[in-house]
Amino acid sequence: MARYIGQGHYKRLLKNKVKIYEYQEHFNHSKVVLIDDWVTIGSSNLDRWGAKWNLEANQEIRDKVFSKSVYKMFQNDFSDCHEITLEQWQQRALSKKIKVWLWKHLGKIIAKIGLDGRK
């Protein structure tokens, strides 16, 4: 479900030149952001669900040595990823298009119900 909801944004992202890599080896649930020598690691999903409803926590680390090790980890992980291009995305099977469309819209409904229930 979560993968299909996320994939509902791929077309817009790809059209705006965002590169998308899907990890193929196994499920990876890490939440790591690396920007220069700043790293944040934690449970935060960086989405509206986490911001509105979940109790999330991240650790921020500003250290050049640590950030280099995280960069190496990312490089290693990217070797097990498959880049999704706009052309590939547009040519995927109809069954996959239907799943993404369905879950994208169900995700919006679930979010709306959840927001209404929290008022």
pLDDT at 108: 84
* Three-state secondary structure call for residue 58: strand
pLDDT value at residue 45: 74
Residue 49 or 85, more confident: 85
Per-residue buried b or exposed e for 76-107, using 16+ beta carbons within 10 Å of the residue's own CB: eeeeeeeebeeeebeeeeeeeeebbeebbeeb
Q: For the residues 29-37, what does the mean pLDDT come to?
A: 88
Task: Report domain extents, the chain.
Answer: 1-25+80-112, 32-79
pLDDT at 53 exceeding the cut of 90? no
Is the pLDDT confidence value at 13 over 60?
yes
Confidence (pTM): 0.66
